[in-house]
Amino acid sequence: MNRLEGRTLALKRAGRRALAPFVMAGDGGLETTLAVLRALDRPEVACVELGLPFSDPIADGPVLQAAADRALGSGTSFEGVLGLVRELRRPGTRGSGLPLAIMSYANPLFVRGIERTCRLLAEAGADALLVPDLPLEEAAELRQAALAAGLCPIFFVSATTTAARAAQAIQASRGFVYAIGRFGVTGASPDPNDSAQEFLQRTRALAGELPLAVGFGIGSASAVRAALREADLAIVGSALVERIQRTHGDAAAKAQAADSFIQELAQGIA
C-alpha cells in the first residue's frame, strides 16, 4: 500500500472528508508549482493531482487548456516534472510526504513506453496515475504497468456509466475512484447539478471500502460541501488553477494564494 492509498483509506476509515486539489505542472514555471505543492501539504488535503500538460486536452475546459498551453509554452517537459517530484520528495522538506497523483492524457505517457513511464514516475516519487482518455477497455497495459511500478491506477465513472462498468472501474482502481460530477469538461460551474447527488449515492454504494472522489465544476466552499455529502474527496481544479494564475507576484505569492484558497474551500468540509 503506497502513500496515497494509505492516506485515502485511513481518512475513509476515520470517516473524514478531505480535498484533492489539482495543479498543472509548470504553469507559471516549475518553481511555482513546487511552492504551490508545498503549500498544499495541509491536513485538509488528502492528496494532490499534478497535471502533465498536453497540447490537446479534450476533457478540459478553457481554464485548464490555457494552463496546459502556458506550461508547455514555458518549456515544461516530462523530465522537468520528474525533477519537480524528486525535489518535492527531498527528506525533511514540507510536502515530502504529500500523496501525489499524476493526471495525464494517454499520448505523453505512452510515447516512451508505458512501463518505462510508470517506473520513472514511481521512482521520482509519484503515487498514482489518472488518464482521462484511457477508458477501462484500453487500460489493461497501463494498469499492469502502474501496479508493477507501485502506482495506484485510478479510473473514472460518470453519470452515464452503467452499474456493471462502474463496478469494474471500482475494482480496477486503487486509492480512490474518480466520479465525474456532471456532463461537460472541467471548469467551475455556477449551478451544481441536482441529479449528480443520485449518481454519487449510487456510486458510493458500489464503491464500498474504496474512497470516492468527485470532480468537475467544484470551485467554492458550498460546492465542496455539496460534493462531500456523498463523496470522500472533493477535487478542485480549474478554480484553484485560476486563483493561482491571477495572483501577481513570485512563486511564494502564488503559493500563499493557493494556501488561502484551500483554507477557504476547507470550510466546506463538515
Closest by alpha carbon to 4, among 139, 126, 147?
A: 126
Per CB under 8 A, 24 contacts another protein: no
Q: Does 109 bind another protein (CB under 8 A)?
A: yes
Stretch that binds another protein, among 16-24, 54-62, 197-205, 226-234 (CB under 8 A): 54-62
Report which of 120, 109, 110, 118 is spatially closest to residue 82, judged by C-alpha positions.
120
**By the rule CB under 8 A, 184 interacts with another protein:** yes
Residues sharing a CB contact under 8 Å with residue 160, sequence separation 6 or more, in sequence order? none
Active site residue 49: yes
Q: Is 60 a catalytic residue?
A: yes
- Tell me the C-alpha distance between 103 and 236, whole Å: 13
Does 185 bind another protein (CB under 8 A)? Our answer is: yes
The one catalytic residue among 5, 27, 44, 60:
60
Neighbours of 188 (CB within 10 A): 18
Q: Does residue 22 interact with another protein by CB under 8 A?
A: no
Taking the CB of residue 160, how many other CB atoms lie within 10 A of it? Answer: 9
Stretch that binds another protein, among 10-18, 56-64, 233-241, 251-259 (CB under 8 A): 56-64
Residue located via cell numbers 513511464: 117
Task: Indicate whether 11 belongs to the interface with another protein (CB under 8 A).
Answer: no
Between helices 238-246 and 251-266, what is the axis angle to 10°? 140
When asked if residue 191 is in the footprint of another protein (CB under 8 A), the reply is: no
Shortest CB 252 distance to another protein, Å:
29
List active site positions.
49, 60
